[in-house]
A = this chain, B = another copy of it.
Amino acid sequence: MKEMQVSLGDRSYPIFIGEDLLGAKELWARIRRREQVMVVSNKTVAPLYLEQVMTALPGCTVKSVVIEDGEKYKTLDAFNAVITRLLEQGFSRDCLLVALGGGVIGDITGFAAACYQRGVDYIQIPTTLLAQVDSSVGGKTAVNHALGKNMIGAFYQPSAVLADTRTLATLPEREFRAGLAEVIKYGMIRDPAFFAWLEENLDGLLARDQNRLAHAIEQSCRNKAEIVSLDETEQNVRAILNFGHTFGHAIETATGYTRLLHGEAVAIGMLMAADLSRRHGWLMRESTERLERILERAGLPSGVPTGLRAEQLRSIMAIDKKARSARLFLVLLREIGVAFLTEQYEERLLAETLSEFSAAGG
């Protein structure tokens, strides 16, 4: 078992990475700290792992709430269902919530923990690769609103994260590969040595070798933790984590979040960001080719789905920009491992990138 610390002052917490952690009684005895425990899971994950977690907590009052699986259930209603269950069971401010599932479960549970009686403890057990390398660090919790994703939420840190690599064995292949896109992102934006390691070890990862998975998760979490420690509430440097995401979100929005998984859209978005960086002369062609090659080996898509036009993507990106200032900021690359946030790009070159990828098809 690997153990690393996310350093955020008095909100610091450990991440445990390894095999068969979610039912490990000794580990739970060390981290649980509370008597009343509510496990939140979904209908896909609960049949696989809920029993193991609930029986790993002898001497505690352990209850569970199982919600529907899927992003469309990441709502204020699902959040309220968790709160109602806590109240019906008479849970106090000294209780513990456990999120057992992917990013949706983590987001709903974390937000419920942030708000129940103005804040209670929670532990994350992310069961997808994407959640293990992304949602488990950073403390971003939220639910969606009909008018926007993640519009209702809080920055709220868990008291611990258990990334159990064994749960990845049951993850569908396509979801696993989509998670790899975010792993590769960490190499691209700030860790060239990790990127080289991924190039070396990609086949082992695709075979879901437990040790290589643990290493990839650890390096991803370490990179994200270092960024988040510098900027907990996303005022500045944390923005580089959005590498590939502005393009990716535009693709997801244009396709109504139905045709691509998040990681797949991010993979295409990273290629587009790299392409735009190259067109400005900031990134060498050799580097964009390395990115293309590893994403292709990971079985990730390389072009925008057919039927989307460049102008359509550009106008969706323009709406995204409202968040911060008059001009759209983008995360671009100077080399593999060096990302930066900028509004100093040429609109003409952005149009070229959008056209090239729209024409390519996915």
Contacts and interface: CB of A to CB of B under 8 A. Distances in A.
A114 B233 CA distance: 13
Interface string A89-118: 010111000000000000000000011111
Copies held by the complex: 2
A145 B84 contact: yes
A93, A117, A152, A233, most chain B CB atoms within 10 A: A152
Contacts of A93: 323-324
Given A145-B87, A233-B119, A92 B323 contact: yes
A76 B80 contact: yes
B92 A153 contact: no
Interface in A183-202: none
A151 interface: yes
B147 A115 contact: no
A94 B152 contact: no
Given A83-B151, A147-B87, A154-B154, A118 B142 contact: yes
A92 B152 contact: no
A228 B159 CA distance: 24
Contacts of A145: 80, 83-84, 87
Interface string A138-162: 0011100101101111110000000
A140 B119 CA distance: 11
Contacts of A26: none
Contacts of A151: 83, 87, 116-117
Interface of A: 76, 80, 83-84, 87-88, 90, 92-94, 114-119, 140-142, 145, 147-148, 150-155, 233, 322-324
6 closest A-B pairs by beta carbon, nearest first, are A87-B147, A118-B153, A115-B152, A92-B323, A118-B155, A92-B322
